[in-house]
Chain A
Amino acid sequence: MTGTPPLVLLVGNPNVGKSALFNKLTGKYVTVSNYPGTTVELSRGFAPCGGTRTEIVDTPGMYSLVPITDEERVASDMFFSENVRAIIHVADAKNLERMLGLTLQLIETGRPIILAVNMIDEARDLGIRIDIDRLSLELGIPVVATSSLSGEGVGALLKALATPPAPSLNLTRYGTIIEQAMMDISALLSPASPIAPRARAGLILQGDLRERERLVRENNDRDAAAILNIVSSTRDRLNHSPHYYVALALRSHAARIAGNCVANPSQQPGRFRTFLERICTQPITGYPLVALVLYFALYKFVGQFGAGTLVDLIEDGVFQNHLLPWVTTKTAAIPWVPVRDLLAGEYGIFTLGLRYAIAIILPIVGSFFLVFAVLEDSGYLPRLALLVDRGFKRIGLNGRAVIPIVLGFGCDTMATLVTRTLETRRERILCTLLLALAIPCSAQLGVILGLLGQHPSALAAWALIVLFIMLLCGFIAAKVLPGERPMFYMELPPLRMPSLGNVVIKTYTRMVWYFQEILPMFLLASLLIWVGNITGVFSLLIRGLQPVVGWLGLPDASAVAFLFGFFRRDYGAAGLYDLVKGGALTTHQLTVAAITLTLFLPCIAQFLVMQKERGTRVTLWISAGVLLTAFGAGYLSHVLLTAIGY
């Protein structure tokens, strides 16, 4: 155990306050990006436990040890890590009975388990009483009541971690057919695993594919075949899949324990809450509410406040009036012109890279992340998902995809990462395509709203055409792409007043992520443009692009904006901004350019993430499709707008 510190895993269902508890446990030592509610990467931090520095890992939410989505797979893989000191199961005190099934499953793995009965304050408010000592006795593991909001019980939890508990022997009985099969399978398993053989056998029987792979790797072919044989003959014997019986047995075991430890008053939700719920979910008020939320959150707050007021403040107040003149005077002394250009030239690191990143993009993206955090923390997003599910099915997605799509309006790169939360490969590809094609990120959106804001009819034309293209492409792609049909299910957490602390943390972590990922890209783009200019590659490319933009009825100068669009979509849009300021575009041209640029290839960062998440082949197909669609749609709208004399 020398070198690597011992690990403590936080596991549990989604929406139980796991990430918030993680923050309370680790204090300020959060090192890796974390998107509460949509956690896709593991967050790691450190906490002092009984004098040793212990690494705490927050895992994505999971309902059962047998994973459904990729993100759940990440969590279940962690169990096999060698130096796990303890696993903390974070459970929602309000729904303890439903949560205990996972506790019992975790106990079976034979690893030291601690149960954190979280959100104990909310449960108390509902009049639920939980006998913690009795619960600990019945389960055979330490149990701590915690509140990730107030920090109650966090100290007790750290103390419990100081002496890792012995594994509990409280096992669930699954009936003879399954028990027998588990016994037969575990006899064939290689014993070298930190997970108890009975639990592994259970996972294999329930069809966990990862566990199957591990099985084939560790065993000789004959044993592996024998095990798979037991699995299939057991399945034949049962009415349903073994999974079903395991869940039934766990549930009745959990109910027995909960019956002894939890006093649950039957209570109806308050009238105000029921009323709010109805407003959000019944179509007649729900859809207008979506429109209102989009109007105020995206248009008013991000578009006008973020992209207008804030950008002006930073761009004019800081950059144009103070920083840039200062940089220009400082660099004027540099004798070598190319170096001076690199720093303060037209596309220099300060004048272009840093200015775009900090003065134009940051306020827009920041205000978007703030709005998104408020929506996320209030519990509104799942309601949005259920409202749009029927529509999304038409384009091959399900309501769950609303989270990456809405997040895409903030940052398409981040949203592409979050497509991991979608269940099938087909949905992930479709969603990635739509993000690459038709969802403008907040930076781009901000610039475009700023540009077209003066011309409402142009804005309407832009919005309608982009929406039409998105629906059309989604519809066609969903027809063409083979795969399983999407299925929609989601938990609806209670609607609540967003907490300031949560909103700040969520906005902050996303902005930190954005800055770390994106700022280097901007500087790199400045550098590449500089190199491109010096070597003459750019003028060659621009000359190549000029006839293409010519077909769209755009002036030659706009080719520069498109070329920048290769580096970042919003960079291209920001390039348009400069063109308009110079008075080089008519409203007609502006509309066509905005449409083409919105649909245009994603930025470099998104391209790289796409390649990482979906593979090179899919990424190239998507890029080719996007490029063709963007210019095709640009050309058609040019023709269309000319025909109606706009």
Chain B
Amino acid sequence: MIDAKIEEILEDLFARESEPTHPIRSMNTDVLAAAAEQGFVRLENGLPVLTRKGLEAGEKVVRRHRLAECLLRDILQVPDAEAEEDACHFEHLLRPGLEDRVCTLLGHPLTCPHGRTIPRGECCRSAARDHVREVGPLCDGRAGQSGVVAYLSTRDSREIQKLMAMGILPGSDIRLTRLFPSYIFAIGHSQFTVDHTLAEKIFVHWRD
């Protein structure tokens, strides 16, 4: 079994793969050295990068952590504030095999309470999406409102490609100027227009 400290680093590094803004909690050099020695990470320009082995291990930790969050919040009704910390302990306890039972019990959730994707295990299939407060689709905004793109609620690569062509990516500043007859918004010094189908896929963290 992997040491809990190493698991934590692997967990953070894995989360960064799909969410580059994810913070790394601790960068204890001893733990890093141990992780490197066991072949989980290698150093690139002084920064740790997951190896293939580390990637697989990290994926499992993240899966257990996010499943634990769901279990604590949805089944055990633990308040959100406490659930996060409990989940950190829980993830190290959920042994292989046990995690799949939890996953089944929960109905194979797709996302954790924070809206992050739970890496799929052997046992999964299903879909759901969670909405985070203050974040809403572009089509529900007001004219003149601005914010930051939070996420794109689509897996259709055709749609993603179009949104990205316009520079719509999580983190982009966006200002909505018109809702009818089509949605008009500005990104940087450029203006774009989209229809409802695309506007409802763009989730924006609105500023007020």
Q: Flag if B17 contacts A66 (CB, 8 Å).
A: no
Q: Flag if B55 contacts A180 (CB, 8 Å).
A: yes
B162 interface hit (Cβ, 8 Å): yes
B114 to chain A, nearest CB (A): 13
Given the interface contacts A98-B188, A283-B181, A399-B182, does A386 sit within 8 Å of B193 by beta carbon? yes
Q: Flag if B189 contacts A398 (CB, 8 Å).
A: no
User: Of B184, B190, B197, which is in contact with the most chain A CB atoms at under 10 Å from its CB?
Assistant: B190
**Which residues, 99 to 127 on A, are CB-close (under 8 Å) to B?**
126
Minimum CB distance partner of B172 in chain A: A251
Q: Pick out which of these stretches binds chain A: B72-80, B85-93, B94-102, B152-160.
A: B152-160
A478 to chain B, nearest CB (A): 15
**CA A247 – CA B160 in complex, angstroms?**
10
Given the interface contacts A64-B165, A487-B198, A491-B166, does A243 sit within 8 Å of B160 by beta carbon? yes
Given the interface contacts A237-B59, A386-B184, does A175 sit within 8 Å of B164 by beta carbon? no
Taking residues whose C-beta sits less than 8 angstroms from the other chain, chain A's interface range is 35 or more
**B169 touches which one: A241, A247, A283, A491 (CB < 8 A)?**
A247
Interface string of B29-58 (1 = CB under 8 A from A): 000000000000000000001111001000
B151 to chain A, nearest CB (A): 9
User: Of B16, B180, B191, B192, which is in contact with the most chain A CB atoms at under 10 Å from its CB?
Assistant: B191
B183 to chain A, nearest CB (A): 9
**B20 touches which one: A66, A238, A248, A387 (CB < 8 A)?**
A248
Q: Flag if B198 contacts A488 (CB, 8 Å).
A: yes
Minimum CB distance partner of A389 in chain B: B182
**CA A68 – CA B184 in complex, angstroms?**
21
| A248 contacts across to B, CB distance below 8 A | 20, 169-170
B5 interface hit (Cβ, 8 Å): no
Given the interface contacts A98-B167, A491-B191, does A245 sit within 8 Å of B18 by beta carbon? yes
Given the interface contacts A239-B18, A485-B197, does A68 sit within 8 Å of B182 by beta carbon? no
Interface string of B179-208 (1 = CB under 8 A from A): 011101001111111110110000000000
| A491 contacts across to B, CB distance below 8 A | 166, 190-192
**CA A496 – CA B46 in complex, angstroms?**
51
**B161 touches which one: A68, A281, A382, A389 (CB < 8 A)?**
A68
Given the interface contacts A68-B165, A386-B193, does A488 sit within 8 Å of B182 by beta carbon? yes
| A68 contacts across to B, CB distance below 8 A | 158, 161-162, 165
Given the interface contacts A98-B167, A386-B182, A389-B182, does A489 sit within 8 Å of B192 by beta carbon? yes
**Which residues, 463 to 516 on A, are CB-close (under 8 Å) to B?**
484-485, 487-494
Minimum CB distance partner of A245 in chain B: B18
Taking residues whose C-beta sits less than 8 angstroms from the other chain, chain B's interface range is 35 or more
Given the interface contacts A97-B188, A98-B188, A282-B178, does A244 sit within 8 Å of B164 by beta carbon? yes
| A64 contacts across to B, CB distance below 8 A | 161, 164-165
| A494 contacts across to B, CB distance below 8 A | 191
| A389 contacts across to B, CB distance below 8 A | 181-182, 193, 195
User: Of B55, B167, B188, which is in contact with the most chain A CB atoms at under 10 Å from its CB?
Assistant: B167
Given the interface contacts A64-B165, A243-B164, A489-B193, does A252 sit within 8 Å of B184 by beta carbon? no
Q: Flag if B181 contacts A390 (CB, 8 Å).
A: yes
Q: Flag if B50 contacts A176 (CB, 8 Å).
A: yes
Q: Flag if B195 contacts A492 (CB, 8 Å).
A: no
| A222 contacts across to B, CB distance below 8 A | none
**CA A489 – CA B50 in complex, angstroms?**
38
Interface string of A370-393 (1 = CB under 8 A from B): 000000000000100111011001
| B59 contacts across to A, CB distance below 8 A | 237
Interface string of A400-418 (1 = CB under 8 A from B): 0000000000000000000
| A387 contacts across to B, CB distance below 8 A | 181-182
Q: Flag if A490 contacts B193 (CB, 8 Å).
A: yes
Q: Flag if B170 contacts A489 (CB, 8 Å).
A: no
**Which residues, 610 to 631 on A, are CB-close (under 8 Å) to B?**
none
B117 interface hit (Cβ, 8 Å): yes
Q: Flag if B16 contacts A175 (CB, 8 Å).
A: yes
**CA A249 – CA B160 in complex, angstroms?**
15
Q: Flag if B198 contacts A95 (CB, 8 Å).
A: no
Given the interface contacts A243-B164, A248-B169, does A398 sit within 8 Å of B157 by beta carbon? no
B2 to chain A, nearest CB (A): 18
A203 to chain B, nearest CB (A): 13
Q: Flag if A177 contacts B55 (CB, 8 Å).
A: yes
| B171 contacts across to A, CB distance below 8 A | 251-252
| B197 contacts across to A, CB distance below 8 A | 485, 487-488
**CA A399 – CA B169 in complex, angstroms?**
23
A450 interface hit (Cβ, 8 Å): no
**CA A252 – CA B162 in complex, angstroms?**
19
| B195 contacts across to A, CB distance below 8 A | 389-390, 393, 398-399, 487-489
Q: Flag if B180 contacts A492 (CB, 8 Å).
A: no
Minimum CB distance partner of A178 in chain B: B17
A236 interface hit (Cβ, 8 Å): yes
**CA A112 – CA B188 in complex, angstroms?**
29
Q: Flag if A489 contacts B55 (CB, 8 Å).
A: no
**CA A405 – CA B171 in complex, angstroms?**
37
A94 interface hit (Cβ, 8 Å): yes
Interface string of B135-157 (1 = CB under 8 A from A): 00000000000000000100101
A214 interface hit (Cβ, 8 Å): no
| B170 contacts across to A, CB distance below 8 A | 248
| A490 contacts across to B, CB distance below 8 A | 192-194
A347 interface hit (Cβ, 8 Å): no
Q: Flag if B159 contacts A487 (CB, 8 Å).
A: yes
| A390 contacts across to B, CB distance below 8 A | 181-182, 195
User: Of A95, A126, A484, which is in contact with the most chain B CB atoms at under 10 Å from its CB?
Assistant: A95
**CA A385 – CA B158 in complex, angstroms?**
21
B73 to chain A, nearest CB (A): 20
User: Of B117, B166, B193, which is in contact with the most chain A CB atoms at under 10 Å from its CB?
Assistant: B193
A63 interface hit (Cβ, 8 Å): yes
B175 to chain A, nearest CB (A): 10
A207 interface hit (Cβ, 8 Å): yes
Complex A-B: 9 CB contacts under 8 Å? A68-B158, A98-B167, A176-B52, A247-B169, A249-B20, A283-B180, A382-B193, A484-B158, A489-B165
- Shortest Cβ-Cβ A-B pairs, 9 listed: A63-B165, A488-B195, A386-B182, A492-B191, A239-B117, A386-B193, A247-B164, A241-B157, A94-B189
What residues make up the interface of A, taking CB atoms closer than 8 Å to B? 63-64, 66, 68, 92, 94-95, 97-98, 126, 175-177, 180, 207, 236-241, 243-245, 247-249, 251-252, 277, 281-283, 286, 382, 385-387, 389-390, 393, 398-399, 484-485, 487-494
What residues make up the interface of B, taking CB atoms closer than 8 Å to A? 16-18, 20, 49-52, 55, 59, 117, 119-120, 152, 155, 157-167, 169-172, 177-178, 180-182, 184, 187-195, 197-198
